[in-house]
């Protein structure tokens, strides 16, 4: 049995405050029995992508020099939990929206760079990030289960969940930052929830998503993130879902072997017809 925690909290508008809050959430989740703790996208600061500002590039860190990664590697070891850590990565002259996953001994399992990069009012990510160049990543833990992890906008692409599952993922995890849509002027929370449930149902793999909460104001814009972090079962049924505006930690326990057996018996992967799927690449 593996217990996974989804968390959500509002930005404190300071690096130190956000890191302290994230550490507190991880420790609280561990006390409740978590083996894996998922924190939200770019939790070390405000969601700076609201605006195109060149000075924000100074927020990026090189992986091997990152104080954020050093802190959470030590925390993973201290608390004996698996921690996927979202961060703004600089690699030479290139910048990525990235994630490093640490095993419960603090060892780095691997690095993922967000593949699908959105653009639009208040989601100006193409200004900051290159598309990921390492493909979809599955992180094998020392306890024998595999985490398929992608980031926010990736979750809207059905190919993400299918490829991660084909690569052996036992769970799909999505750190997220989603809320106001100033152009669409609509509430996308239900659509977002349905997309996540669809990823789970189509691949027979539980999905876990951690979103931000609270209102963050930049110089010329403001966004309210709608939380609603969730955990599903392998059929796409929501087991736990958070509120839109409260700091929360949600936990669910899963029988990995039973879920693997269900996935085998359904035949979804047996009956795939890759010879007929060429049109999807056009």
In the residue annotation, 41 being an active-site residue is answered as yes
Q: Whole-angstrom Cα distance, residue 108 to residue 96? A: 18
**Residue among 106, 88, 110, 109 at smallest CA distance from 97:** 88
To the query of whether residue 49 is one of the catalytic residues in this protein, the response is: no
Q: Known catalytic residue: 32?
A: no
Rounded CA-CA distance 171/139 in Å is 10
Is the CB of residue 146 less than 8 Å from the CB of residue 106? no
Residue 279: left if φ>0, alpha if ψ -120 to 50, beta else—which one?
alpha
Which one from 30, 41, 197, 234 is the annotated catalytic residue?
41
Selection from 170, 51, 66, 174 nearest residue 112 by Cα: 174
The pair of structure tokens assigned to 202 is 């189509």
Contacts of 203 (CB under 8 A, 6+ apart): 161, 162, 164, 165, 172, 263, 268
- Of the candidates 114, 125, 216, 248, the residue annotated as catalytic is 114
Residue from 49, 122, 152, 252 carrying the catalytic annotation: 152
Query: What amino acid positions are annotated as catalytic residues?
Result: 41, 114, 152
């Amino acid at each position: 049995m593996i217990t996974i925690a989804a968390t959500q909290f509002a930005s404190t508008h300071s690096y130190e405050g956000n890191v302290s809050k994230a550490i507190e959430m991880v420790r609280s989740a561990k006390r409740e029995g978590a083996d894996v703790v998922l924190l939200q996208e770019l939790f070390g600061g405000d969601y700076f992508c609201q605006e195109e500002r060149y000075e924000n590039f100074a927020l990026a860190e090189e992986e091997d020099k990152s104080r954020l990664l050093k802190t959470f590697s030590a925390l993973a070891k201290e608390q004996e939990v698996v921690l996927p850590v979202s961060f703004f990565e600089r690699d030479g002259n290139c910048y990525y929206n990235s994630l490093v996953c640490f095993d419960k001994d603090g060892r780095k399992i691997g690095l993922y760079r967000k593949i699908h990069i959105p653009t639009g009012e208040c989601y100006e990510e193409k200004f900051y990030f290159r598309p990921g160049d390492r493909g979809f990543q599955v992180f094998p833990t020392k306890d024998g289960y595999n985490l398929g992890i992608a980031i926010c906008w990736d979750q809207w692409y059905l190919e993400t969940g299918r490829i991660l599952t084909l690569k052996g993922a036992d769970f799909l995890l999505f750190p997220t930052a989603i809320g106001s849509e100033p152009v669409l002027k609509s509430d996308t929370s239900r659509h977002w929830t349905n997309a996540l449930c669809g990823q789970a149902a189509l691949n027979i793999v539980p999905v876990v998503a951690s979103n931000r909460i609270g209102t963050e104001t930049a110089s010329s814009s403001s966004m309210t993130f709608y939380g609603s972090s969730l955990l599903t079962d392998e059929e796409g049924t929501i087991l736990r879902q958070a509120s839109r505006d409260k700091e929360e930690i949600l936990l669910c326990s899963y029988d990995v072997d039973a879920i693997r057996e269900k996935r085998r018996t359904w035949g979804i992967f047996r009956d795939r017809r890759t010879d007929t799927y060429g049109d999807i690449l056009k």
